[in-house]
Amino acid sequence: MSYREDFFRMLEGKTPVADVPVNKFTMDPTMVQGVVMIMPEILGFGNFDEEGKNRWGVPHEIDVNGTGFMPAPGKFILKDITKWRDIIKAPYNYDYDWAGKAEADLANFKWDPETQVTSMFGGGGNYFLSLASFMGFEGAMFAMYDEPDAVHELLDYLCEYDMWVLDHILKYYPMAEIMGMGDDNATEINPFISIEFFRTFLLPRYKRVADKLKENGKIVSYHNCGRCEDFMDDMVDIGVQIWNCATPVNDLQGFKEKYNSKIILEFLPRMFIDATEQQTRQRVRDYIDLYAPGGAFVWSGNSLTMNPDQGAQLDAWIYDEAESYGKGFYLS
């Protein structure tokens, strides 16, 4: 069976026919299986000007390897949430040539509709991290307590911009089957905010994005790689079908038992750069034995090292073991 066939079987609550699906999250359509990503220029990560600012005017710092970035510490652009209208300007570009840009983005895009699945990430949902990038984590959380009305107004403003972008994305990139939103609102230990604040400030905007995607026939994916299990019941309720980068810091076994294959876990492992080959391969086997039974599981992560050269060998072991150990897993 192809990755595509097994993927849609899992969406129906069935197990893959034979192998554990492995998704390497690639923009290379020559892969024989997996998900092929479409990345429109307007959604591209790392789109910074010469001063290191993103489209919202937030200055960023890039790591020494050029593979990661974050808002520059201490250089927050919004100090008083009640003044957000004076500072935060959505990057509407009404002269943007959507048709021409889409043609350029898709000029060399090829995929096999018989074996592969297409996806796109970045069409909305980044509300907690956007607020934190404007104000810092402490500023964002104090604002929720002190000026909730202003926070609601700003988040609605961000969501309106997402709706505008999605209107065009859905029109000009119709081949994207999975649409992903994300918001890393949790550390590896606990969420940044309470469930009450999650439901008050974030969930209504997530739901608005999810509703729009579902109305247009898209499979809704949600990225959160922290210990966010507190929030996932609500995300399932609003129609999320894929938990992208589900990590073992969460009770994934309990989650699977509760939802009985209702949502696919795109599993992100926790590996160590100094691990031996034997240790790495054993950990891959242990994770598959733990989480793959019953289906609704995709091996979709690597070592997460920010140094691509340092992590290349580790990634090779990880993917090789995931593919070899997962082969025929559901036949036994």
Q: What are the tens digits of pLDDT across the range 170-187?
A: 999 999 999 999 999 999
* Domain-wise residue ranges, the chain: 3-331
CATH of segment(s) 3-331: 3.20.20.210
Q: What is d(CA 176, CA 179) in angstroms, rounded to the nearest whole number?
A: 7
**pLDDT tier, 91 (very low <50, low <70, confident <90, very high otherwise):** very high
191-203 mean pLDDT: 97
For 87, counting Cβ atoms within 10 Å of its Cβ (0-12 exposed, 13-18 middle, 19+ buried), the class is middle
Q: What is d(CA 197, CA 149) in angstroms, rounded to the nearest whole number?
A: 13
Q: What is d(CA 235, CA 231) in angstroms, rounded to the nearest whole number?
A: 7
Neighbouring residues of 309: CB distance < 8 A, sequence distance ≥ 6: none
Q: What percent of the chain has pLDDT over 90?
A: 76
250-276 mean pLDDT: 90
Q: For the chain, what is the mean pLDDT?
A: 91
Number of C-beta neighbours around residue 233 at 10 A? 12
66-90 mean pLDDT: 92
| Residue pair 321/280 in contact by the 8 Å Cβ criterion | yes
